[in-house]
Chain A
Amino acid sequence: MKLIFEKGAPGQHLSLLPACDVPEVEIVSPRAEAPELPHLSETELTRHYTALAKRVHGVNDGFYPLGSCTMKYNPKINEDMANLPGFTNIHPLQPEETVQGCLEVLHTSAKLLGEITGMDAMTFQPAAGAHGEFTGLLLIKAYHKNRGDEKRTKIIIPDSAHGTNPASAVMAGFTVVNVPSGPDGCVDVEALRSAVGPDTAGLMLTNPNTVGIFDRNILEITKIIHDAGGLCYYDGANLNAVMGVVRPGDMGFDVIHLNLHKTFSTPHGGGGPGAGAVGCKALLAPFLPGPVVEETENGCHLAVPEHSIGRVKNFCGNFGVVVRALTYVLTLGQEGIPEAAKNAVLNANYMMKRLSEKYTMAYAGPCMHEFVMDLQDLKAATGCSAMDIAKGLLDHGIHPPTMYFPLIVHEALMIEPTETESRETMDEACDVFLALWDLAHENPQALHDAPTRTPVRRLDEVGAARNPVLKYTPND
Chain B
Amino acid sequence: MGSYIPNTRAQREEMLSAVGVSRVEDLFAAVPHEMLLEHLDLPAGLSELEVRRALEAMAAKNKVYGTVLRGAGAYRHFIPSVVKSVISREELVTAYTPYQAEVSQGILQAIFEYQTMICALTGMEVSNASVYDGSTAAAEAIAMCRDRKKNKALVSACADPQTIAVMRTYCFGSGMELEVVPAKDGRTDLEALKAALTADAACVYLQQPNFFGNIEDAKAIGEAVHAAGAKYIMGCNPIALAVMETPAECGADIAVGEAQPLGLDLAFGGPYLGYMAANKAMFRKLPGRIVGQTHDVDGNVGYVLTLTAREQHIRREKASSNICSNQALCAFAAGVYLSAMGAEGLRQAAKLSMSKAHYLAAELAKIGLPRLHEGPFFHEFATKCDKPGAVLKALDEQGILGGLAVDGGILWCATEVVSKEEIDRAVAIIKEVC
Question: Are chains A and B touching directly in their complex (CB below 8 angstroms)?
Answer: yes
Q: Bound state CA distance, A317 and B26, in angstroms?
A: 39
CB 8 Å contact bits of A22-38 with B (1 = contact, 0 = none): 11110111111011111
Determine if A141 is an interface residue (Cβ-Cβ < 8 Å).
yes
Q: Which of A53, A272, A459 contacts B91 (CB 8 A)?
A: A53
Docked-complex contact B92 and A22, CB < 8 angstroms: no
* Residues of A with C-beta under 8 A to B313: 162-164, 405
Docked-complex contact A35 and B346, CB < 8 angstroms: yes
Decide: A59 near B95, CB < 8 A? Known: A80-B52, A464-B304: yes
CB 8 Å contact bits of B349-368 with A (1 = contact, 0 = none): 11110111011000000000
**Shortest Cβ gap from B256 to chain A (Å):** 13
CB-nearest residue of chain A relative to B359? A22
Q: Which of B70, B165, B317, B404 contacts A169 (CB 8 A)?
A: B317
Docked-complex contact A316 and B43, CB < 8 angstroms: no
Q: Which of A105, A172, A176, A464 contacts B173 (CB 8 A)?
A: A172
CB 8 Å contact bits of B70-86 with A (1 = contact, 0 = none): 10111010101010011
Docked-complex contact B44 and A335, CB < 8 angstroms: yes
* Residues of A with C-beta under 8 A to B16: 346
Docked-complex contact B327 and A127, CB < 8 angstroms: yes
Docked-complex contact A245 and B104, CB < 8 angstroms: no
Determine if B296 is an interface residue (Cβ-Cβ < 8 Å).
yes
**Shortest Cβ gap from B175 to chain A (Å):** 5
Q: Which of A81, A366, A423 contacts B29 (CB 8 A)?
A: A366
A74-131 CB contacts (< 8 Å) to partner B = 74-75, 77, 79-81, 84-95, 98-102, 104-105, 108, 112, 115-116, 127-131
Docked-complex contact A390 and B289, CB < 8 angstroms: no
CB 8 Å contact bits of A342-363 with B (1 = contact, 0 = none): 1101110110011000000000
Q: Bound state CA distance, A131 and B324, in angstroms?
A: 9
Docked-complex contact A261 and B267, CB < 8 angstroms: no
Determine if A455 is an interface residue (Cβ-Cβ < 8 Å).
yes
CB-nearest residue of chain B relative to A77? B48
Decide: A334 near B42, CB < 8 A? Known: A93-B70, A101-B61, A244-B37: yes
Docked-complex contact B328 and A272, CB < 8 angstroms: yes
* Residues of B with C-beta under 8 A to A141: 172-173
Docked-complex contact B269 and A315, CB < 8 angstroms: yes
**Shortest Cβ gap from B30 to chain A (Å):** 4
**Shortest Cβ gap from A189 to chain B (Å):** 14
CB 8 Å contact bits of A304-333 with B (1 = contact, 0 = none): 000001111111111111010011011111
Q: Bound state CA distance, A470 and B109, in angstroms?
A: 11
B309-350 CB contacts (< 8 Å) to partner A = 309, 311-319, 321-330, 332, 335-336, 338-350
* Residues of A with C-beta under 8 A to B211: none
Docked-complex contact B169 and A470, CB < 8 angstroms: no
Docked-complex contact A273 and B249, CB < 8 angstroms: no
Docked-complex contact B105 and A350, CB < 8 angstroms: no
Q: Bound state CA distance, A137 and B169, in angstroms?
A: 12
Docked-complex contact A312 and B169, CB < 8 angstroms: yes
Docked-complex contact A37 and B343, CB < 8 angstroms: yes
Docked-complex contact B356 and A37, CB < 8 angstroms: no
* Residues of B with C-beta under 8 A to A147: none
**Shortest Cβ gap from A319 to chain B (Å):** 4
Docked-complex contact B116 and A471, CB < 8 angstroms: yes
Docked-complex contact B269 and A273, CB < 8 angstroms: no
* Residues of B with C-beta under 8 A to A353: 18-20
Docked-complex contact A423 and B11, CB < 8 angstroms: yes
The contact size tier of chain A is: 35 or more
Determine if B195 is an interface residue (Cβ-Cβ < 8 Å).
no
Docked-complex contact B348 and A17, CB < 8 angstroms: yes
- The size of the chain B interface, using a CB distance under 8 A, is 202
Docked-complex contact B329 and A272, CB < 8 angstroms: yes
Docked-complex contact A469 and B293, CB < 8 angstroms: yes
CB-nearest residue of chain B relative to A59? B94
**Shortest Cβ gap from A207 to chain B (Å):** 10
Q: Bound state CA distance, A4 and B113, in angstroms?
A: 7
**Shortest Cβ gap from B82 to chain A (Å):** 6
* Residues of A with C-beta under 8 A to B86: 46, 49, 53
Docked-complex contact B319 and A167, CB < 8 angstroms: yes
Docked-complex contact B215 and A28, CB < 8 angstroms: yes
CB-nearest residue of chain B relative to A128? B325
Docked-complex contact A314 and B269, CB < 8 angstroms: yes
Docked-complex contact B95 and A20, CB < 8 angstroms: no
* Residues of A with C-beta under 8 A to B370: none
Docked-complex contact A171 and B120, CB < 8 angstroms: no
Decide: A129 near B74, CB < 8 A? Known: A267-B93, A463-B294: no
Docked-complex contact B420 and A271, CB < 8 angstroms: no
Docked-complex contact A57 and B104, CB < 8 angstroms: yes
Determine if B398 is an interface residue (Cβ-Cβ < 8 Å).
no
Docked-complex contact B267 and A319, CB < 8 angstroms: yes
Q: Among the interface residues B18, B119, B123, B271, which one has the most CB atoms of the partner chain A within 10 A?
A: B271
Determine if B292 is an interface residue (Cβ-Cβ < 8 Å).
yes
**Shortest Cβ gap from B135 to chain A (Å):** 5
Q: Bound state CA distance, A74 and B125, in angstroms?
A: 37
Q: Bound state CA distance, A459 and B108, in angstroms?
A: 12
Q: Which of B24, B64, B99, B134 contacts A89 (CB 8 A)?
A: B64
**Shortest Cβ gap from A168 to chain B (Å):** 4
Determine if A443 is an interface residue (Cβ-Cβ < 8 Å).
no
Docked-complex contact A457 and B294, CB < 8 angstroms: no
CB-nearest residue of chain A relative to B292? A464
CB-nearest residue of chain B relative to A138? B173
* Residues of A with C-beta under 8 A to B378: 27
Determine if B432 is an interface residue (Cβ-Cβ < 8 Å).
no
CB-nearest residue of chain A relative to B100? A400
**Shortest Cβ gap from B83 to chain A (Å):** 10
CB-nearest residue of chain A relative to B250? A29
**Shortest Cβ gap from B382 to chain A (Å):** 15
CB-nearest residue of chain A relative to B403? A93
Docked-complex contact B20 and A55, CB < 8 angstroms: no
* Residues of B with C-beta under 8 A to A301: none
**Shortest Cβ gap from A77 to chain B (Å):** 5
Docked-complex contact B317 and A311, CB < 8 angstroms: no
* Residues of A with C-beta under 8 A to B293: 464, 469-470
Q: Bound state CA distance, A101 and B54, in angstroms?
A: 11
* Residues of A with C-beta under 8 A to B117: 35, 37
Docked-complex contact B322 and A167, CB < 8 angstroms: yes
* Residues of A with C-beta under 8 A to B306: 461, 464-465, 468, 470
Q: Bound state CA distance, A465 and B4, in angstroms?
A: 41
Q: Which of A36, A56, A88, A327 contacts B103 (CB 8 A)?
A: A56
Q: Among the interface residues A58, A314, A319, which one has the most CB atoms of the partner chain B within 10 A?
A: A314
Interface segment, one of B179-187, B222-230, B236-244? B236-244
Q: Bound state CA distance, A321 and B267, in angstroms?
A: 10
Q: Bound state CA distance, A250 and B76, in angstroms?
A: 44
Determine if B281 is an interface residue (Cβ-Cβ < 8 Å).
no
**Shortest Cβ gap from B55 to chain A (Å):** 4
Decide: A244 near B40, CB < 8 A? Known: A127-B270, A350-B15: yes
Q: Which of B61, B92, B314, B352 contacts A58 (CB 8 A)?
A: B92
Decide: A245 near B51, CB < 8 A? Known: A163-B319, A311-B165: no
CB 8 Å contact bits of A279-290 with B (1 = contact, 0 = none): 000000000010
Docked-complex contact A214 and B342, CB < 8 angstroms: no
* Residues of B with C-beta under 8 A to A463: 294-295
Can you sample 20 A-B contacts with CB below 8 Å? A17-B416, A31-B244, A35-B120, A53-B86, A54-B91, A91-B68, A167-B315, A171-B170, A218-B35, A272-B328, A273-B327, A327-B55, A332-B2, A336-B45, A340-B4, A340-B5, A419-B5, A456-B298, A459-B303, A468-B307
Q: Given A71-B96, A320-B265, list of 15 further CB < 8 A pairs? A: A35-B121, A54-B106, A59-B94, A61-B91, A64-B96, A86-B59, A127-B133, A131-B323, A163-B319, A170-B322, A216-B32, A244-B40, A340-B3, A353-B18, A459-B295
- The 5 tightest CB contacts between A and B, nearest first, are A315-B269, A86-B59, A333-B45, A269-B329, A92-B269
